[in-house]
């Protein structure tokens, strides 16, 4: 017996039932409005004006860099990168009270056994 053929012959009725007829609103206002949480509360004059001021991982305007200039020089040619006062690049550079604590043998055993060694 072919189960799929038997299932296809049965008409499917949805389990959810809607009340009333489907109605589409006659008048929907699609005029652009600023977002309620917008800092300025106003729409930009044009997309080009927005793009000049917008930043997403750097400036979006093409005038800020020459086409093809990104990646042309090596990182060492850009100069040394030093952290500011009070900033650290690695956790090992922090004062000892902020560094990672070493694992104890009991903690290692508890992790390896999934916590079963704590109950034994």
Tell me the pLDDT tens digit for each residue of 88-113: 888 888 889 998 889 999 899 999 98
Residue 81 lies in a domain: no
Structure confidence by residue, pLDDT tens digits, 9-37:
677 888 888 888 888 888 888 888 999 99
Residue 97 lies in a domain: yes
Residue 113 lies in a domain: yes
Residue 47 lies in a domain: no
Residue 114 lies in a domain: yes
By the 10 Å C-beta count (0-12 exposed, 13-18 middle, 19+ buried), 59 is classed as middle
Q: Global pTM? A: 0.28
Range of the domain at 110: 91-119
Tally the domains of the chain: 1
């Amino acid at each position: 017996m072919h189960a799929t053929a038997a299932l296809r012959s049965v008409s499917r009725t949805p389990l959810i039932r809607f009340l009333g007829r489907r109605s589409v609103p006659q008048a929907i206002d699609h005029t652009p409005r600023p977002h309620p949480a917008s800092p300025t509360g106003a729409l930009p004059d044009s997309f080009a004006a927005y793009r000049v001021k917008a930043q997403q991982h750097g400036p979006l305007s093409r005038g800020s860099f020459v086409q093809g200039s990104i990646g042309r020089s090596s990182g060492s040619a850009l100069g040394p990168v030093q952290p500011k006062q009070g900033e650290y690049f690695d956790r090992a550079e922090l004062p000892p009270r902020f560094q990672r604590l070493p694992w104890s043998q009991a903690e290692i055993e508890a992790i390896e056994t999934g916590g079963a060694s704590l109950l034994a």
